[in-house]
Amino acid sequence: MVAPKAKTLTELVDEARNSDNAAWNELVHRLGGLVWAIARSYGVPRDDALDVSQTVWLQLARRLDAISDPERLGLWLSTTTRRECMRYLQHNRNRAPVVAERLDERASLTTSTEETILQSERQRLLWRAVDQLPDACRSLVRLMLNDPEPTYAEISEALGIPLNSIGPRRQRCLGNLKLRAGQL
C-alpha cells in the first residue's frame, strides 16, 4: 500500500482558508517547531514562548487571506515570530533575564545538594558564556539547545542562513563558546 502524497503548503493554506481544521492542524504540525525554536532562541521562557507561539498562529489566522505565496509561509512565520519575540522582550525588559533556566528539567530528585549546586553553577556559567557570544552565534547556540533540537532546515529558515553553512558555523560557534566558558 502506497502512503498518500503529502499536501503542499499551498494546498494546506487553501484548505485552511476554507476552515478545514485538519489543514490547520497539519500546518501547525509542520511549522510549529519552527515558531517554537525561534521563540526559544530569543531567550523567551517556556511558558511565555507558548504565548508567543499562540499569538503568531492567531496572527496567521487573521491574515491567512493576505498570504500571497503559501509556499513561503515558513518565512512569514519566521518574520512574525521574530517580531513578536522583540515585542515580548521590549515589554518584559525590566524583568530579570531568564539566563538561569535549567537545561535538564528532568533532574533526579535524589540528586544531592552539592551536585545540584554544582550543576546549577555550570548551567549559569554556560548561559553567561552563551550571552557573551556574537549575536549570530548566540542565536544559533540557543536554537541548538532546544529540546528537541530543530533540524538544519528549521535553523536555516529561522536564522535566514544557507543550509550548507550551518555545520561550519555551528562548529565555529561551539569552539567560541568553549573558549569563553573556559575563561569564566
Q: Which residue has the higher pLDDT, 158 or 121?
A: 158
More confident: 94 or 30: 30
**Mean pLDDT across the stretch 61-71?**
93
pLDDT on residue 62: 95
The dihedral through the CA atoms of 107, 177, 101, 25 has a sign that is negative
Residue 160, sorted as left (phi over 0), alpha (psi -120 to 50) or beta, turns out to be left
pLDDT for 105: 40
Average pLDDT of the segment spanning 59-76: 92
- Predicted model pTM: 0.54
Q: What is the 3-state secondary structure (H, E, C) of 141-182?
A: HHHHCCCCCCCHHHHHHHHCCCHHHHHHHHHHHHHHHHHHHH
Instruction: Report the pLDDT value the prediction gives residue 108, as an integer from 0 to 100.
Output: 42
DSSP 133: S
